[in-house]
Structure formats: structure tokens, C-alpha cells
Amino acid sequence: MTELKATIVVAGSVCAPALCSKVPLSFWGGVDPHTGEVIDVHHDLNGQCMTGKVLLIPAGRGSCSGSGIMLEMIRQQTAPAALISIEAEPIISLGSIMGYELYQRGVPIFTLKEEEFNAIKDKTVLNISQDGIITFDNSSVEG
């Protein structure tokens, strides 16, 4: 079992499978907020659904409209279960914070150091506690 200590950007706890990418993602134009599917045809997650998964992207990319897309995903209940990145994501985080304010639900957001981020494999089930402790076993992957 591996244990990592993440920096909390937006607090929350979750247990869900990882959806991993090494490529930054723009929520504006890159994600369909009605389905949670990555629609950026140039992104390695194109066609995959982030709903209910812990999305790992190194950073966000692009527009300040990403917070609105995150908020709409929270409203539509198509948002990821959590977001982990290497760089803090203030724009995407704002959407989650607004979700807690408007809908009493949001997306926990964390950052990890690059080597810790890279230690998590796609589909690995992650247990993330309220205090930012991430535990997982890369041999236990979902489907």
C-alpha cells in the first residue's frame, strides 16, 4: 500500500478510480459538461468519461471559462470525483468552490509533487481522506 500526502486546494474525501493523463487539459472546449466526456480530439483522454473518477492532469490549460465548465459539471452531476494536479489550478478550483456555495457539492482538488503524481497508475482505486492523505495499491485497479 502506498501513502502520499497531497496539498489540499479544495477539501473533501473520496474513493474512486484514477483517470490519468500527462497532458494538461482545458475544460473550456475540451470537456462536454453534459456527459463528463473529454472531447478535445488532440488530448490522450479523448472519448473517456471523467464522471465519478479521480482526474489526474498535470495542469489545466487555457481559458478562465474552465471554472464555469466545472460548475456546470457539478450541477449536471457529471464532474470528476476529485482532481489531482502538479500545479495548483485556481480557475478550475473556483468552479468547485462555487459548486459548494450554490449546490452544496463540489469537487475535492489536490496537488502532488511530480514524482508522486507519476506514481499513480490509470484505473488504480484511490482513497483520499479529508486531510489529503492518498492511499492506493497500484495492483488493485478497477475494470
Q: What is the pLDDT of residues 1-13, one digit of tens each?
A: 999 999 999 999 9
Model confidence band, residue 141 (pLDDT cutoffs 50, 70, 90): low
Q: What is the pLDDT of residues 63-119, one digit of tens each?
A: 778 899 999 999 999 999 999 999 888 999 999 999 999 999 999 999 999 999 999
**In terms of Cα–Cα distance, which of 139, 132, 140 is closest to 3?**
132
Q: Which of 13, 26, 63, 65 is catalytic?
A: 63
Give CA–CA dist 70/97, Å, rounded: 10
129 as an active site residue: the answer is no
What is the fold, at CATH topology level, of the domain defined by 2-136? Answer: Glucose Oxidase; domain 1 (3.50.30)
Domain ranges of the chain: 2-136
